[in-house]
Structure 1
Amino acid sequence: MLVVGVLALAALAGWLYLALGHGGFWKTGPGLPPGADPSGWPEVVAVVPARDEAAVLPETLPTLLAQEYPGTFRVIVVDDGSGDGTADVATRLGGGTDRLRVVGALERPPGWAGKVWAMSEGVQDAGEPEFLLFTDADIAYAPGTVAGLVRAALADERDLVSQMAMLNTDTRWERLIVPAFVYFFAQLYPFRRVTRDGARTAAAAGGCILVRRETLAYAGGVNAIKGALIDDVALGRLIKRAGGSCRLDLSRDVTSRRPYPGLADLWTMVTRSAYDQLRYSPALLTGTIATLVLLYAVPPAAAVAGLAGLVTGTGSAALAAAAGLLAWTIMAATYAPMLRHYRLSPLRAPALPLVALMYAAMTIDSARRHRAGRGGAWKGRTAPH
């Protein structure tokens, strides 16, 4: 029981740091600053990589084309070798508007990730706008969102402004796993540290990234992240390392319409990039799993074991129970704001350890798939590593 108590104290120390000293990662506000309308609105071109997205485009592309942006705004859909008529659907949804251009990506060169190559093709076709908006085909936009992104970029002189899209939580599995996915992302890349100039933390959320074209070109262009599987984080790092200023926020105005109806769909979403996040390192994999177990599994286990020990009079039971319960409480308290952001009951928060153990299993499976030659599998492609 003494060993359990010591592990619980270590977990408690970890949660005290995370809650108080880790960039306020658990906070979900305040969102984009309102900003004032500029005297002249810069040109914006949205680049939408699309591979076999015919089913979801009718729910998303019209919301982008309907943006009431005061300046010049165009949309380029890059058909990335689709076999389901994606280009035809996009053209039909455009209805002849000169705001939309549908282009076919050339054959992907060796060493390029599929999405990044499609992004590069869109940039080549965009001309010389002041801002590029990289957005996924499954992302829908509330009215006025593009103008709000530009206001925020101009008001704070940001080179990159990104919004973490609201993901679907319609099914039981989505409600269990999706808020935790965003919570863990924020824990890895605290949004306030991303936004703080001078801080080393850099990231972006791939569903919605507004970036200054000249800054991107100065940083090396999309070519500089050509092999990136987690392209949004790579793009954020690229811009920040080049001296650019970034901003990352949660959003309810940017929403994903991609469904993940079953556990297998969500499992694939996570395993696709989890091992890439660890740079394909067995040592980092081992350390990550050990940290997840310490932070998420030890507190409830110590609390239960300690309370049982109090009944039987086991030595050090009080230490294990107190440290475990306090760490578990802090953990749940930091998770509750994300649940509220997704309009879910904070009473779900104490179950986070179970979800964390599922993510640990997904991470291990991601490494297994990589070793089997199926790493980063997405729509018939694997990662270029």
Structure 2
Amino acid sequence: MTLIASIFFILLLFQVPSSLLLFSRLLRGAKRFPPLQPRLASATMLAQVSVIVPTLNEVERMDGMLTGLSRQTYEVREIIIVDSNSQDGTREKVTEMTKKDPRFKLISDPTLPKDWVGRPWALHNGFLATSEQSKWVLGVDADTQPQAGLIASLLHFAATNDYDLLSLSPQFILKSGGEWWLQPALLMTLLYRFESSGVNAPSPETVMANGQCFLIKREVLAELGGYEVAKASFCDDVTLAREVAKRGYKVGFADGARLLKVRMYEGFADTWHGWGRSLDLKDASSPSQLWSELGFLALVQGFPLLFTIFGLFTFNTFNFLTFKVLFALNIILLIGRWALVFAISSSYEKNGGGRWLLWLSPTADILAVARIFLSAFSKPKQWRGRMYG
């Protein structure tokens, strides 16, 4: 029994400081900036932004993006669609849009070099094609649904807070029970490891970013040599943002649930594969940071449900103080986790079958943490029909 008590004590030694770190992050999140609201453009914003959208066989996903960007006003100088040899009608759909809105331009990126990942390569070539007269470059994903007033709101918030780089968390569109159960647990792995949207990161290593809506000063991106620093990264947004922060620039990450919607994946399997592909962020982290984050995640997100169930069945078996304290701590962590479901509920569109499973998503935490570990041990070999490695 002494051995068992020692094991409980060792677990406490690791879990208590991890829990305190988590609580400090969540406390900062409670004081975060409120969600950004749509705004009308001002005269000072005239033609300040070049938008870049990388595409590869997006014809079924891009209508919301095309419509949403066309609703942005005179703050947008140009919208450059960088296509990577799509074969599904993507190019034809963009060509039709160029006839309706002359701000849209369609270009093709050159053959993908062996040492580049497709997305940053497309963004890099889009950047090279942007006007030098633009003050800002905005990367947008093809599967997003920008709302009216998005870009004006971005510019206003960036100017007000003196940001050199600003990205947004979106409102997610989920449609099946499997997505509602798994995706919030995967999202929580990011909220636990890093700062919430609307909170300024205390160090470059904890900076978060979202490439679905990624605004950066053109002069800063030019100083970096475009996307060169993120050319081999499957999380190019975070890689680039952390490099910008390391160079002393101010990086922001805001709640854009009222400005940007996104339908990323179809069903449970697609969510498991797509979201888990780079969620470990190993391409933007040192090995020591990655493994410390994984250990932290296991202790505060993966372990509490397991130990609480174990404790319920063995509460009268172990009469150790260490066991009682450990049991109480994990119950607190579990209660806090369920409370966070309320906190993130606004990050999801209210429609969609199976929404009630959002409230059961904490039971998927063990699976979500396991997915992060699996991702950390592997590197993507294929994505959107392209082979890597």
Category of TM-score, reference length = shorter chain: 0.7 to 0.9
Question: Post-superposition shift, 1:362?
Answer: 1.9
Could you tell me how far apart the structure 2 residues matched to 1:164 and 1:240 are? Answer: 18
Q: 1:258 aligns with which of 256, 264, 272?
A: 264
| 8 Å Cα contact 2:184-2:361 kept in structure 1 | no
Q: Counterpart in 1 of 2:28?
A: 24
Q: 1:269 aligns with which of 271, 274, 283?
A: 274
**Partner secondary structure for residue 48 of structure 1:** strand
Change in CA separation of 1:314 and 1:349 when aligned onto 2, cut-off 3 Å: farther
Question: Post-superposition shift, 1:154?
Answer: 1.9
Change in CA separation of 1:292 and 1:51 when aligned onto 2, cut-off 3 Å: same
Change in CA separation of 1:325 and 1:258 when aligned onto 2, cut-off 3 Å: closer
Moved more, 52-61 or 178-187: 178-187
**Partner secondary structure for residue 163 of structure 1:** strand
| 8 Å Cα contact 1:54-1:84 kept in structure 2 | yes
Q: 2:372 aligns with which of 343, 353, 363?
A: 363
Question: Post-superposition shift, 1:75?
Answer: 0.7
Asked if 1:88 corresponds to 2:97, the answer is no
Could you tell me how far apart the structure 2 residues matched to 1:51 and 1:23 are? Answer: 40
Give the TM-score of the pair, scaled to structure 2: 0.84
Change in CA separation of 1:111 and 1:216 when aligned onto 2, cut-off 3 Å: same
Asked if 1:104 corresponds to 2:108, the answer is yes
**Partner secondary structure for residue 211 of structure 1:** strand
Q: Counterpart in 1 of 2:15?
A: 11
Moved more, 2-11 or 267-276: 2-11
**Partner secondary structure for residue 363 of structure 1:** helix
Question: Post-superposition shift, 1:177?
Answer: 2.1
Mind listing any 5+ residue stretches in structure 2 that lack a counterpart? none
Q: Counterpart in 1 of 2:348?
A: 342
Change in CA separation of 1:376 and 1:132 when aligned onto 2, cut-off 3 Å: farther
Q: Counterpart in 2 of 1:78?
A: 82
Change in CA separation of 1:289 and 1:153 when aligned onto 2, cut-off 3 Å: closer
User: What is the letter of the counterpart of residue 328 of structure 2?
Assistant: A
Could you tell me how far apart the structure 2 residues matched to 1:324 and 1:132 are? Answer: 45
Q: Counterpart in 1 of 2:182?
A: 177
| Matches for 1:278-357 after TM superposition, within 5 Å | 290-311=295-316, 314-316=319-321, 318-342=324-348, 351-352=361-362, 354-357=363-366
Give the TM-score of the pair, scaled to structure 1: 0.85
- Superposed CA offset, 1:217-255 (max 9, x none): 123322222222101101211222222211111222211
Q: Counterpart in 2 of 1:201?
A: 206
Could you tell me how far apart the structure 1 residues matched to 2:118 and 2:330 are? Answer: 45
Q: 1:136 aligns with which of 126, 132, 141?
A: 141
Question: Post-superposition shift, 1:358?
Answer: 1.1
Could you tell me how far apart the structure 1 residues matched to 2:285 and 2:34 are? Answer: 35
Q: 1:235 aligns with which of 222, 236, 240?
A: 240
**Partner secondary structure for residue 84 of structure 1:** coil
Question: Post-superposition shift, 1:178?
Answer: 2.1
Pairwise CA RMSD of aligned residues?
A: 3.2
Kindly, what percent of the aligned residue pairs are identical?
24
| 8 Å Cα contact 1:91-1:102 kept in structure 2 | yes
- Superposed CA offset, 1:308-341 (max 9, x none): 3344575555444323322322333344311354
| 8 Å Cα contact 2:208-2:241 kept in structure 1 | yes
User: What is the letter of the counterpart of residue 18 of structure 1?
Assistant: L
- Superposed CA offset, 1:36-66 (max 9, x none): 9655214211100000101112232111112
Moved more, 41-50 or 320-329: 320-329
Q: 1:53 aligns with which of 47, 54, 58?
A: 58
Could you tell me how far apart the structure 1 residues matched to 2:291 and 2:202 are? Answer: 32
Change in CA separation of 1:144 and 1:282 when aligned onto 2, cut-off 3 Å: closer
**Partner secondary structure for residue 74 of structure 1:** strand
- Superposed CA offset, 1:190-239 (max 9, x none): 14696358765323101001111011112332222222210110121122
**Partner secondary structure for residue 129 of structure 2:** helix
Mind listing any 5+ residue stretches in structure 1 that lack a counterpart? none
Question: Post-superposition shift, 1:277?
Answer: 1.8
Could you tell me how far apart the structure 2 residues matched to 1:176 and 1:201 are? Answer: 27
| 8 Å Cα contact 1:19-1:330 kept in structure 2 | no
Moved more, 358-367 or 34-43: 34-43
| 8 Å Cα contact 2:173-2:262 kept in structure 1 | yes
**Partner secondary structure for residue 170 of structure 1:** coil
**Partner secondary structure for residue 298 of structure 1:** helix
User: What is the letter of the counterpart of residue 234 of structure 1?
Assistant: T
Question: Post-superposition shift, 1:145?
Answer: 0.7
Could you tell me how far apart the structure 1 residues matched to 2:43 and 2:336 are? Answer: 47
Q: Counterpart in 2 of 1:40?
A: 44
| 8 Å Cα contact 2:169-2:254 kept in structure 1 | yes
